[in-house]
């Protein structure tokens, strides 16, 4: 028998023929490097010691919702670990520092024999606009050698052309087709954006986000069936996090597509396909290619009752974020308050901003600025601004000067009214991000910064700028520093 146990978000335990592997395990209660993004959703507790013997660990790519150091630290270091070959050198150094003794590079376009399981990897197509930044990820097919079942995942990527045909060539029947519902919006971080509530779907003619995604998935299913066959089950996962504390209200405006609603919409569109939105602990078993009845949940996964799950019902874009606390300052902050940001810190952030300015050269913002007059029609300067908040002192304001290849300090009390586009966050957070002390996931879309774009069709900035700048493949040295700090916190 071939079994896939859902651990949460996109983490799995896959077992067959006496072999068991973990794929992208998230084993703790919190989400993101250092747990700074929020809580794993829905909340559950995993008894790691009660896991059956693990024969291998596979990490599909380096995003921190797949590559979680605290989860890896809970595992036996003798277990062979396979990490995407296109992950950063910092990631390989981190798992070595953790003490894993058998570390392997998982190459795309390869096949692995891991006991009774076979793992096949496939290149993704990262060239299309909007294809994301999972450049080190590849699609996966896992199946048992006895032919009972298979598990297909493109992780966070759209399936590349011809993928299903290539899987069919192996002579393996389609089994579990995983669908990652990672749809999220952080429009509450946008200053000046209209945030009127979304009307009741029954009162409008245009399809909802859920219906639109179901249509996309239906088209993908057409390709899958034509090239390979009908899967035994479409398993909807992903979206496994929520904000907590003072940021909990944002959960009502962050997740526009509910997993259960998506499963229902896809099932209605394609009644021939068995579809299920998973919760942690769900076990999917296949025998001779068919789903079989299983226990309600894995005994080592303890899921909290639904009435104790954080509320995530979508209520539209929501109000604009009015205030927020820094991510890099403990709560309560020690004295003297580090958010005051002294002159030494100011000099350090300006040094790091030189690297950010070089990163902008010839990119979309650079090109947009060279296509605009000095001022927009409303009188705002056609410029990109960084507004950095400080406690007990005036905010620091920097404006990108392409002709000088740097960010220049400016004196401005209302940067959101003076400059066309900009990002606002705490100065301590930006410095921590730039120096490799804070993960991008804790800042960019976590309700800890704001963005404005007065004329987004002409000049537009988003938190994605900082996300990609801090990417491990762009700044492996800073990522190495981040991982070292995270590992030190685990000891």
Q: In whole angstroms, what is the distance from residue 284 CA to residue 153 CA?
A: 15
Q: Is 24 found in the same domain as 169? A: yes
Between 427 and 293, residue with greater pLDDT: 427
CATH of the domain at 452: 3.30.1050
Domain-embedded: residue 322? no
Nearest to 132 by CA among 423, 478, 464: 464
Question: Mean per-residue pLDDT for 118-130?
Answer: 88
What Cα–Cα distance (Å) separates residue 442 from each residue in 30, 97, 163, 426, 429?
A: 12, 23, 34, 12, 9
Q: What is the pLDDT of residues 239-263, one digit of tens each?
A: 999 999 999 999 999 999 999 999 9
Beta strands in 9-55 (DSSP E): 11-16, 19-23, 30-31, 38-40, 44-46
Give, as one character, the DSSP assignment of residue 438. S
Q: In whole angstroms, what is the distance from residue 97 CA to residue 119 CA?
A: 26
Angle at 88 between CA 82 and CA 89, to 5 degrees: 85
pLDDT of residue 101: 98
CB 424 within 8 A of CB 398: no
Domain-embedded: residue 317? no
CA dihedral 83, 84, 90, 92 (to 10 degrees): 30
User: In the structure, what pLDDT confidence band is assigned to residue 297 with cuts at 50, 70 and 90?
Assistant: confident
Q: In whole angstroms, what is the distance from residue 68 CA to residue 65 CA?
A: 6
Q: Is 301 found in the same domain as 247? A: yes
User: In the structure, what pLDDT confidence band is assigned to residue 194 with cuts at 50, 70 and 90?
Assistant: very low
The helix (H) or strand (E) run that includes residue 345 is helix 343-360
Domain-embedded: residue 316? no
Paired strand residues for 2 = 16, 286
Q: How many CA within 13 A on the CB side of residue 451? A: 21
Nearest to 284 by CA among 351, 231, 327: 231
pLDDT of residue 192: 85
User: In the structure, what pLDDT confidence band is assigned to residue 193 with cuts at 50, 70 and 90?
Assistant: low
For 58, residues 6+ apart whose C-beta sits below 8 A from its C-beta are 21, 22, 23, 24, 82, 106, 119, 140
Q: Is 331 a residue whose pLDDT tops 80?
A: no
Q: Is 362 found in the same domain as 221? A: no
Instruction: Report how many domains make up the chain.
Output: 2
User: In the structure, what pLDDT confidence band is assigned to residue 316 with cuts at 50, 70 and 90?
Assistant: very high
Q: Is 183 found in the same domain as 99? A: yes
Structure tokens at 371: 């296509």
Pairing of strands 11-16, 19-23: antiparallel
Phi-psi region of 235 (alpha: psi -120 to 50; beta: other; left: phi over 0): beta
Domain-embedded: residue 320? no
Q: What is the pLDDT of residues 98-110, one digit of tens each?
A: 999 999 999 999 9
Q: Is 364 a residue whose pLDDT tops 50?
A: yes
pLDDT of residue 286: 97
Q: Is 405 found in the same domain as 271? A: no
Question: Mean per-residue pLDDT for 16-26?
Answer: 98
Pairing of strands 396-401, 381-389: antiparallel
pLDDT of residue 196: 46
Domain-embedded: residue 327? no
CA dihedral 195, 196, 200, 204 (to 10 degrees): -100
User: In the structure, what pLDDT confidence band is assigned to residue 202 with cuts at 50, 70 and 90?
Assistant: low
Q: Is 195 a residue whose pLDDT tops 60?
A: no
Q: Is 336 a residue whose pLDDT tops 60?
A: no
Q: Is 286 found in the same domain as 356? A: no
CATH of the domain at 184: 3.60.15.10
pLDDT of residue 491: 80
Mean pLDDT of the chain: 94
Question: Mean per-residue pLDDT for 156-179?
Answer: 96
Between 330 and 426, residue with greater pLDDT: 426
User: In the structure, what pLDDT confidence band is assigned to residue 206 with cuts at 50, 70 and 90?
Assistant: confident
Backbone φ and ψ for 250, nearest 5 degrees, come out as -70, -20
Q: Is 304 found in the same domain as 403? A: no
Domain-embedded: residue 6? yes
Q: Is 362 found in the same domain as 295? A: no
Q: In whole angstroms, what is the distance from residue 77 CA to residue 306 CA?
A: 35
Give, as one character, the DSSP assignment of residue 399. E
pLDDT of residue 341: 86
Which residue, of 308, 325, 357, is where some domain finishes?
308
Domain-embedded: residue 204? yes
Q: Is 482 found in the same domain as 395? A: yes
Question: Mean per-residue pLDDT for 112-123?
Answer: 98
User: In the structure, what pLDDT confidence band is assigned to residue 204 with cuts at 50, 70 and 90?
Assistant: low
CB 100 within 8 A of CB 67: no
Domain-embedded: residue 272? yes
CB atoms under 10 Å from CB of 112, counted, come to 17
| Residues of the chain above pLDDT 70, percent | 95
Q: Is 241 found in the same domain as 104? A: yes
CB 36 within 8 A of CB 446: yes
- Burial (CB < 10 A; 0-12, 13-18, 19+), residue 428, is buried
Question: Mean per-residue pLDDT for 385-400?
Answer: 95
Q: Is 302 found in the same domain as 209? A: yes
> Which of 76-90, 116-130, 271-285 is the least confident region?
116-130
Stated pTM of the model: 0.95
Q: What is the pLDDT of residues 51-74, one digit of tens each?
A: 989 999 999 999 999 999 999 999
Pairing of strands 103-106, 81-84: parallel
Structure tokens at 224: 């899958």
Q: Is 203 a residue whose pLDDT tops 60?
A: no
- Burial (CB < 10 A; 0-12, 13-18, 19+), residue 358, is exposed
- Burial (CB < 10 A; 0-12, 13-18, 19+), residue 97, is middle
Q: Is 17 found in the same domain as 106? A: yes
**In terms of residue numbers, what domain contains 228?**
2-308
Which residue, of 308, 326, 355, is where some domain finishes?
308
User: In the structure, what pLDDT confidence band is assigned to residue 329 with cuts at 50, 70 and 90?
Assistant: confident
Q: In whole angstroms, what is the distance from residue 157 CA to residue 134 CA?
A: 7
Q: Is 197 a residue whose pLDDT tops 70?
A: no
CA dihedral 449, 453, 457, 462 (to 10 degrees): -20
């Amino acid at each position: 028998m071939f079994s896939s146990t859902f651990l949460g978000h996109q983490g799995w335990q896959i077992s067959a023929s006496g072999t068991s592997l973990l794929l992208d395990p998230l084993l703790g209660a919190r989400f993101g490097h250092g747990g700074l993004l929020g809580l794993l959703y829905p909340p559950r507790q995993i008894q790691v010691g009660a896991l059956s013997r693990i024969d291998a660990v596979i990490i599909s790519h380096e995003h921190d919702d797949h590559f979680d150091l605290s989860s890896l630290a809970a595992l036996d270091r003798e277990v062979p670990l396979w990490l995407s070959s296109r992950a950063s050198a910092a990631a390989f150094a981190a798992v070595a520092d953790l003490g894993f003794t058998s570390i392997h590079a998982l190459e795309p376009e390869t096949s692995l024999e891991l006991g009774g399981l076979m793992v096949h990897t496939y290149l993704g197509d990262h060239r299309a606009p909007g294809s994301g930044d999972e450049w080190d990820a590849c699609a996966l097919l896992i199946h048992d050698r006895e032919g009972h079942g298979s598990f297909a995942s493109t992780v966070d990527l759209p399936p590349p052309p011809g993928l299903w045909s290539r899987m069919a060539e192996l002579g393996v029947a389609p089994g579990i087709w995983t669908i990652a519902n990672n749809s999220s919006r952080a429009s509450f971080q946008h200053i000046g954006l209209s945030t009127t509530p979304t009307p009741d779907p029954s009162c409008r003619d245009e399809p909802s986000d859920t219906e639109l995604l179901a249509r996309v998935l239906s088209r993908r299913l057409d390709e899958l069936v034509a090239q390979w066959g009908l899967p035994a089950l479409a398993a909807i996962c992903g979206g496994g996090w929520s904000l907590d504390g003072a940021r909990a209200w944002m959960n009502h405006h962050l997740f526009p597509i509910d997993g259960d609603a998506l499963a229902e919409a896809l099932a209605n569109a394609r009644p021939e396909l068995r579809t299920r939105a998973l919760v942690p602990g769900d076990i999917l078993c296949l025998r001779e290619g068919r789903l079989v009845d299983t226990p309600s949940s894995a005994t080592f996964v303890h899921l909290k009752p639904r009435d104790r799950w954080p509320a995530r019902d979508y209520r539209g874009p929501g109000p604009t974020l009015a205030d927020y606390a820094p991510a890099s300052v403990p709560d309560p902050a020690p004295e003297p308050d580090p958010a005051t940001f002294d002159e030494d810190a100011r000099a350090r952030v300006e040094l790091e901003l030189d690297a950010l300015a070089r990163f902008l050269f010839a990119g979309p913002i650079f090109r947009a600025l060279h296509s605009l007059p000095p001022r927009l029609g409303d009188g705002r300067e056609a410029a990109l601004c960084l507004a950095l908040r400080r406690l007990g002192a005036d905010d620091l304001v920097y404006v990108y000067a392409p002709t000088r290849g740097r960010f220049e300090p400016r004196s401005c009390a209302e940067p959101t009214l003076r400059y066309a586009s900009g990002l606002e966050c705490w100065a301590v957070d930006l410095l921590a991000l730039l120096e490799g002390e804070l993960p991008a996931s804790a800042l960019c879309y976590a309700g800890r910064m704001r963005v404005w774009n007065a004329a987004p069709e002409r000049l537009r900035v988003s938190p994605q700028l900082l996300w990609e700048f801090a990417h491990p493949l762009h700044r492996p040295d800073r990522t190495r520093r981040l991982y070292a700090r995270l590992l030190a916190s685990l000891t």
